Amino acid sequence: MNVDLMRKIDYYAGVPLTFIATGIVKLMDRLSQPTRAMPKRVLFIELSEMGSAILVDPAMQKIKHDAGAELFFTIFESNKASLKLLGTIPDENIFTIRESNLFLLAFDTLRFFWWTREQRIDSVIDLELFSRYTALLTGFSGATNRVGYYGFHNEGLYRGEMLTHRVAYNPHIHIAKNFVALTNALTSDHEETPYSKTLITDDDIKLRKAEIDAAAQRTMHALVRECYPDYDSEKHRIVLVNPNASELLVQRRWMPERYVQLAQEVLDAYPDVLLLLTGAPSERDEAEGMSRAIDRDRCINFAGKLKLTDLPVLYSIATLMVTNDSGPGHFSSITDMPTFVLFGPETPSLYGSLGNFTPIYAGLACSPCVSAANHRKTACEDNVCLKAITVDQVYKEISRVLSPARV
């Protein structure tokens, strides 16, 4: 199913369903009279954003530390690999939902309700921003503690009344801190309206780094050499360009011709640079067209060459990466590689990487134009926010890494 169809189903079916479900869940709670206790088996729900699987890791580490809880995760099947990058959640504790069509989605939803009871889940943390579908998953999970974002006096964000811990979403702090607010609400020893009245510092969202061994790096060097036989890891520096953003928000994309010009200027200025175009297998043809347009021997179409779980190894041997605001900008944060992320419809203040990254952002009056309030759907048909970012601007930023003495 495409994203717009999911949004329509979530609204037109989700609003009445969450209204009806509220009465059922409240009746179930009244009949069972659950006793609040320290969480021991905690399920996180985050379906659609692969980068969020990285951004939520500090919150997951915190709940493990504070409560000694065993962690579980529910995610769309197409995004499951993102959970393997840090390996916080054991594979057997991950429940995937197939989103390719409505029948599979409905079937897996029913399986989910059985699975949560089979796993004896006592607490659910809904990470999604006002999704009615995940509100239903949370409400009918059978968990005693149900934590999520609640609209309070915000209009248009109705998702029922099924939460036991209603957390105020704060659009003025980083999303990783909002995730920590959810875990703080769960472990709070007293009730609050709204949760969570706690101080969350930058230290609370420090991200763990991936552990990468030398053997994996040697294998990656060999793979690069297969694509470019003259590659010498002692003489060449690898620059990564990730030109594509997902269909979730096409307005995130910088102009292809600007990537072409940037790549040409980098390759012409730095004879020791080997430039790899990265992307998913589905993006290989588009990357091939870009590679031909760049027309330089040291530009390699590397799209589709790796599994997502192999990306940290590539990042560990690369000098830097330029990318749109998309998953790779967050995946690279578990390594030390400098990453330059082009922002437009979204703001780095809220969704910036937790790693070694530099945001490149025009900061127009209309930007950011996507938020929790509009369910990340913008009316924009002309992403001037990215057109305002010039090749020279990006080139100057990355030159600070490629040749710091010149800057």
* Mean pLDDT for the chain overall: 93
Query: Cα separation of 10 and 159, whole Å?
Result: 10
More confidently predicted of 101 and 247: 101
The pLDDT of residue 240 is: 98
Give 3-state DSSP helix, strand, coil % of the chain, rounded to 5: 45, 15, 40
Intrachain domains 3-205 and 214-402 with the same fold: yes
The two tokens of residue 318 are 């690369």
Tens-digit pLDDT profile for residues 66-82: 999 999 999 999 999 99
Residue 81: how many other CB atoms lie within 10 Å: 15
Tens-digit pLDDT profile for residues 129-138: 999 999 999 9
The pLDDT of residue 377 is: 85
Residue 167's SS3 state is strand
DSSP string, 391-404: HHHHHHHHHHHH-G
Indicate if the alpha-carbon torsion angle 6, 7, 8, 9 is positive or negative.
Answer: positive
DSSP string, 226-258: HHSTT--TTT-EEEEEE----GGGGGGPPPHHH
Average pLDDT for residues 268-275, to the nearest whole number? 97
pLDDT at 202 over 70: yes
The pLDDT of residue 123 is: 97
pLDDT at 271 over 70: yes
Buried b / exposed e along 286-312 (16+ C-beta atoms within 10 A): bbeebbeebeeebbbbbbbbbebeebb
Spatial strand order of the sheet with 339-343 comes to 299-301, 273-277, 237-242, 320-324, 339-343, 357-361
Residue 8's SS3 state is helix
The pLDDT of residue 407 is: 45
Domain coordinates in residue numbering, the chain: 3-205, 214-402
More confidently predicted of 222 and 48: 222
**247 pLDDT tier (thresholds 50, 70, 90):** low
pLDDT at 406 over 90: no
pLDDT at 327 over 60: yes
Average pLDDT for residues 87-116, to the nearest whole number? 96
Residue 14: how many other CB atoms lie within 10 Å: 23
The two tokens of residue 351 are 């969704």
The pLDDT of residue 248 is: 52
Tens-digit pLDDT profile for residues 179-197: 999 999 999 989 999 999 9
Percentage with pLDDT > 70 across the chain:
98
Tens-digit pLDDT profile for residues 14-58: 999 999 999 999 999 898 877 777 899 999 999 988 889 999 999
The two tokens of residue 346 are 């979204």
- Residue 174 neighbours by CB under 8 Å, 6+ apart: 205, 349, 350, 351, 352
Tens-digit pLDDT profile for residues 374-400: 888 888 989 999 999 999 999 999 999
3-205 sits in which CATH class?
A: alpha beta
**Peptide bond before 368: cis, by omega within 30 degrees of 0?**
yes
What's this model's pTM, rounded to 2 decimal places?
0.93
* CATH value of 214-402 in 3.40.50.1360, 3.40.50.2000, 3.40.228.10, 3.30.70.330: 3.40.50.2000
